[in-house]
RNA sequence: GGCCUCGUGGCGGAGUGGUGACGCAGCGGAUUGCAAAUCCGCGUACUCCGGUUCAAUUCCGGACGAGGCCUCCA
């Protein structure tokens, strides 16, 4: 374990309290996060989940060592929405072929999206379709332990067989019935019972099983994949707030009842939702944006946004709080990141640990926003006394957090670097002759190309120095 | 209807039973040939109503407001 790292504390949805985090095995800290269902491009809400758990992953790696953390983020590639999308987009193709096309395309896009958002690759990214066997053995175990039953061609989990059902979400089956929106099916013993396995028609994707050719229900996948890679009991399970019920509740029911364990994961973490410009993101309101759209089109705010800016905009607010995603927020994030990069650019993160106060804030339930105050302090310190130590520390801390030290300052391919440097040299020569008119003309010409100049004095010699950057 | 969050200044966003974090924007100053950048300094807030207390933005109760879940939405 790296020295000097404070105790981690994490908010646990299961207890609704912040608790000291104690890993089951400090030699292998195990985290599972519910990843996307790949029926369409990921939207920015999906991006928040990826970023939040990436930050957790990075923190755990720093505390316990990079080789002592296993982070599993699954890809759900069997789902009725995928089937529908496949049938819609590839009507001529064989369904299985069409499904493969849909999931491959969207999974690849997801990878590139979250990479742009500065997320490390998880240790394992299992696919549901590679884990059908594991799901089937879980279902078999549930049936033999009398927690599941076959009815009407389906295998259903019997909610009434588990006294703890509803503990995570703080609700009981009676509460749910009050909403009167739970589908009442004659074949269910209890309306809240949920599907573990369902039959597939000839033109639906299916796998052979003791219960006929069919496909898994919507929750059993995560139980199977987490068991395979993390074991029957692991440390942290995460996802979006909306997954608490029913998805995570049902995962717990399946895993615990199949294994006869007292818990599935010790800590349950859920990230908050985001709104866009004050309203819930939805296609009908017209404020629905995919990650790719923000990165590559000018649909949001009339311009493109760097992945790191989106990342910072997400992290500026604590992960459990709601975020109102706005153009102004992105502009603020961009300004903040640029100011950090200006202080860190050119300095190395090698051989430097992330700043201790930043680590301490993150260790307290991922309080990134307070950590960012520490970054402001370091950046200002570096600006004030030009301290190399501060700059190196800042660069190392930015790298740790998933930010580069120069991405927003990097030279645009279209900029004529040599020409700019020549113009700056010419301007400095004009100064030598007190020819301010020429100097100002050169500055104005560069400004027209979007190049901003900043003069400073060398603290030692008093000599004029000129920096430049591309202004939008 | 049930369950769960949350309500801080122009904006973002911490935090605390008693000296008004921090950032952006704004204002003043230093510096500068002029700018920009940088540095120094300043201002404005705790949804409302009760209660507890010597003292509440902070604790308790209520109201109002916002958001989420109650079907496969991060």
How many CA atoms lie within 13 Å of A291's alpha carbon, on the beta-carbon side? Answer: 31
In this structure, what DSSP letter does residue A421 have?
H
Residue in A417, A418, A422, A371 with CA at minimum distance from that of residue A397: A371
- Over the range A27-48, which residues count as b (16 or more CB within 10 Å of their CB) and which as e? ebbbbbbbbbbbbbbbbbbbbb
DSSP-based three-state secondary structure for A446: helix
Strand pairing class (A464-470; A214-216): unpaired
Give A215 CA → B5 C1' in Å: 35
Q: Which nucleotide is nearest to A250 (CA to C1')?
A: B72
Burial class (CB in 10 A: 0-12, 13-18, 19+), A174: exposed
pLDDT-derived band of residue A2, with 50, 70 and 90 as boundaries? very low
pLDDT digits (tens, 9 = 90+) for A63-118: 999 999 999 999 988 888 888 888 888 888 888 888 888 999 999 999 999 999 99
**pLDDT mean over A26-49:** 92
pLDDT-derived band of residue A472, with 50, 70 and 90 as boundaries? low
Residue nearest to nucleotide B11 (CA to C1'): A328
Sequence-distant (6+) residues with CB within 8 A of A102 are A38, A39, A82, A85, A86, A89, A90
Give A382 CA → B16 C1' in Å: 30
Q: Mean pLDDT for chain A? A: 87
pLDDT-derived band of residue A453, with 50, 70 and 90 as boundaries? confident
Range from A125-129, A348-352, A401-405, A458-462 carrying the lowest mean pLDDT:
A458-462
User: What does the alpha-carbon distance between residue A200 and residue A183 come to, in Å, rounded to a whole number?
Assistant: 20
pLDDT-derived band of residue A181, with 50, 70 and 90 as boundaries? very low
pLDDT in the model for residue A385: 65
Give A358 CA → B64 C1' in Å: 38
pLDDT greater than 50 at residue A456: yes
pLDDT in the model for residue A463: 77
**pLDDT mean over A11-35:** 92
Strand pairing class (A265-271; A234-240): parallel
Is the distance from CB of A332 to CB of A285 less than 8 angstroms?
A: no
pLDDT greater than 80 at residue A411: no
Cα angle, residue A261 at apex, residues A243 and A218 outer, rounded to 5°:
30
pLDDT in the model for residue A1: 42
pLDDT in the model for residue A48: 93
Residue nearest to nucleotide B72 (CA to C1'): A218
DSSP line for A224-262 = HHHHHHH-SSEEEEEEEGGGIIIIIHHHHHHHHHHHT-S
User: What does the alpha-carbon distance between residue A191 and residue A182 come to, in Å, rounded to a whole number?
Assistant: 6
Give A320 CA → B8 C1' in Å: 18
Strand pairing partners for A195? A156
pLDDT-derived band of residue A3, with 50, 70 and 90 as boundaries? very low
**pLDDT mean over A173-199:** 70
**pLDDT mean over A419-434:** 87
User: What does the alpha-carbon distance between residue A300 and residue A10 come to, in Å, rounded to a whole number?
Assistant: 34
Sequence-distant (6+) residues with CB within 8 A of A375 are A340, A355, A358, A394, A397, A398
Residue nearest to nucleotide B12 (CA to C1'): A329
**pLDDT mean over A235-256:** 92
Residue in A270, A337, A328, A293 with CA at minimum distance from that of residue A49: A270
**pLDDT mean over A363-389:** 83
pLDDT in the model for residue A145: 95
pLDDT cut 90: percent of chain A above it: 43
Give A460 CA → B35 C1' in Å: 23
Top pLDDT among A2 and A353 is at A353
pLDDT greater than 90 at residue A232: yes
Residue nearest to nucleotide B38 (CA to C1'): A383
Q: Which nucleotide is nearest to A242 (CA to C1')?
A: B69
**pLDDT mean over A412-428:** 79
Give A321 CA → B15 C1' in Å: 16
pLDDT in the model for residue A170: 80
pLDDT greater than 60 at residue A192: yes
pLDDT cut 70: percent of chain A above it: 92
Sequence-distant (6+) residues with CB within 8 A of A208 are none
Q: In what order do the strands lie in the sheet with A194-199?
A: A148-151, A154-157, A194-199, A214-216
Chain B: nucleotides under 7 Å from a protein CB? 1-6, 11-15, 21-25, 31-40, 67-74
- Sequence length of chain A is 472
Helix axes A95-116, A80-89, angle to 10 degrees: 110
What is the ipTM score, two decimals?
Answer: 0.89
Helix %, strand %, coil % for chain A, to 5? 45, 15, 40
Give A323 CA → B46 C1' in Å: 20
**pLDDT mean over A165-189:** 66
Top pLDDT among A178 and A210 is at A210
pLDDT-derived band of residue A47, with 50, 70 and 90 as boundaries? very high
Give A43 CA → B74 C1' in Å: 9
In this structure, what DSSP letter does residue A120 have?
P
Q: Which nucleotide is nearest to A377 (CA to C1')?
A: B22
Residue in A430, A372, A433 with CA at minimum distance from that of residue A397: A372
User: What does the alpha-carbon distance between residue A67 and residue A177 come to, in Å, rounded to a whole number?
Assistant: 46
Give A453 CA → B36 C1' in Å: 7
User: What does the alpha-carbon distance between residue A461 and residue A371 come to, in Å, rounded to a whole number?
Assistant: 36
- End-to-end, the C-alpha distance of chain A in Å comes to 44
How many CA atoms lie within 13 Å of A253's alpha carbon, on the beta-carbon side? Answer: 32
Rounded alpha-carbon distances, angstroms, from residue A402 to A8, A193, A238, A371, A442: 20, 42, 20, 14, 38
pLDDT greater than 80 at residue A60: yes
**pLDDT mean over A360-381:** 88
Q: Which nucleotide is nearest to A81 (CA to C1')?
A: B72
pLDDT greater than 90 at residue A153: no
pLDDT digits (tens, 9 = 90+) for A268-301: 999 988 888 878 887 777 788 999 999 999 999 8
User: What does the alpha-carbon distance between residue A264 and residue A232 come to, in Å, rounded to a whole number?
Assistant: 6
User: What does the alpha-carbon distance between residue A316 and residue A238 come to, in Å, rounded to a whole number?
Assistant: 20
User: What does the alpha-carbon distance between residue A220 and residue A183 come to, in Å, rounded to a whole number?
Assistant: 19
Residue nearest to nucleotide B37 (CA to C1'): A454
Give A328 CA → B10 C1' in Å: 13
pLDDT-derived band of residue A414, with 50, 70 and 90 as boundaries? low
**pLDDT mean over A139-163:** 93
**pLDDT mean over A343-358:** 84
Q: Which nucleotide is nearest to A166 (CA to C1')?
A: B3
């Amino acid at each position: 374990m790296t020295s000097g790292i404070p105790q981690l504390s994490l908010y646990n949805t299961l207890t609704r309290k912040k608790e000291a985090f104690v890993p089951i095995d400090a030699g292998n800290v195990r985290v599972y996060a519910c990843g996307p269902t790949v029926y369409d491009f990921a939207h920015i809400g999906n991006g928040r989940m990826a970023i939040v758990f990436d930050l957790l992953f990075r923190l755990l790696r720093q505390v316990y060592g990079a080789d002592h953390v296993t982070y599993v983020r699954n890809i759900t590639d069997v789902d009725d929405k995928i089937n529908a999308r496949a049938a819609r987009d590839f009507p001529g193709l064989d369904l299985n072929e069409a499904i493969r096309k849909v999931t491959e395309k969207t999974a690849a896009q997801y990878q590139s999206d979250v990479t742009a958002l500065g997320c490390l690759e998880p240790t394992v990214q299992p696919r549901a379709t590679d884990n059908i066997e594991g799901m089937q053995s879980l279902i078999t175990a549930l049936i033999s332990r009398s927690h599941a039953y076959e009815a009407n061609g389906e295998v259903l989990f019997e909610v009434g067989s588990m006294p703890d059902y509803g503990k995570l979400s703080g609700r009981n089956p009676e509460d749910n019935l009050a909403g009167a929106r739970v589908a009442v099916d004659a074949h269910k013993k209890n309306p809240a019972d949920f599907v573990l396995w369902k039959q597939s028609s000839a033109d639906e994707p299916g796998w052979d099983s003791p219960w006929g050719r069919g496909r898994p229900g919507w929750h059993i996948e995560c139980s199977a994949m987490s068991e395979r890679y993390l074991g029957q009991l692991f440390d942290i399970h995460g996802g979006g707030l909306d997954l608490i019920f029913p998805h995570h509740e049902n995962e717990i029911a399946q895993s615990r009842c199949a294994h006869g364990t007292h818990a599935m994961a010790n800590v349950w973490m859920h990230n908050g939702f985001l709104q866009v410009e004050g309203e819930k993101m939805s296609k009908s309101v017209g404020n629905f944006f995919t990650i790719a759209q923000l990165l590559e089109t000018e649909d949001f705010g009339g311009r493109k946004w760097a992945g790191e800016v989106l990342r910072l905009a997400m992290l500026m607010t604590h992960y459990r709080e709601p975020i109102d995603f706005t153009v102004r927020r992105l502009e603020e994030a961009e300004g903040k990141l640029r100011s950090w990069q200006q202080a860190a650019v050119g300095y190395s993160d090698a051989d430097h640990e992330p700043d201790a106060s930043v680590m301490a804030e993150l260790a307290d339930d991922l309080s990134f926003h307070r950590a960012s105050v520490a970054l402001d302090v370091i950046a200002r310190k570096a600006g004030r006394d030009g301290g190399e130590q501060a700059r190196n520390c800042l660069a190392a801390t930015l790298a740790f957090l998933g930010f580069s030290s120069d991405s927003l300052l990097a030279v645009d391919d279209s900029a004529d670097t040599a020409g700019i440097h020549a113009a700056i040299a010419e301007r400095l020569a004009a100064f030598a002759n007190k020819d301010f008119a020429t100097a100002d003309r050169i500055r104005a010409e560069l400004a027209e190309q979007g190049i901003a100049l900043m003069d400073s004095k060398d603290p030692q010699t008093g000599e004029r120095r000129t920096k430049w950057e591309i202004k939008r």
